[in-house]
Amino acid sequence: MAAKDAKDEYLDASANARQFNTLRFAELTIFVSVTGALVAVTFSGVASSPDRFVTVALKGLGLAVAALFWILEGRTMLYWRHFVNRAAELEEELGYRQYSTRPKEGVMTGHRAIRSLLALVAALWIVSLVRDVMPA
């Protein structure tokens, strides 16, 4: 590959990696907002309904939101890793070292931290649902 083409692809891969990293935090902001709204409506009593079905449905929706964002986080990270790895491959040809010498992942990565948060929120929705469905 010509050096000019490799550099152009490197710059594009770097821009894409930044875009997907930024997207992860935008997704997290939306998740927190949607979950916060569901928690407020479900538990505050402001929009409480005597119909137990509505409460169970809202909690089920909260669980579904956590599951969907789990999938979304995984897909976003898949693309991020792809572009970072491609940029690292191109560095050998270009003589760069930004991606190929980045620090190794530790035990708790940003991806695992977000996944832990999503799992915790899902677990809280599950516990809340079980308490509603199980007889007292």
Tokens 């505050």, located at residue: 44
pLDDT(47) > 60: no
Give the per-residue pLDDT at 9.
97
Give the per-residue pLDDT at 70.
98
Average pLDDT over residues 44-67: 83
pLDDT(133) > 90: no
Tokens 């669980």, located at residue: 63
Q: pTM of this prediction?
A: 0.88
Do 91 and 10 touch, CB atoms closer than 8 A? yes
Average pLDDT over residues 3-31: 96
Give the per-residue pLDDT at 54.
86
Nearest CA among 68, 81, 62 for reference residue 125 = 62
pLDDT tens figures, 74-130: 999 999 999 999 999 999 999 999 999 999 999 999 999 999 999 999 999 999 999
Nearest-angstrom CA–CA distance, 120 and 90: 38
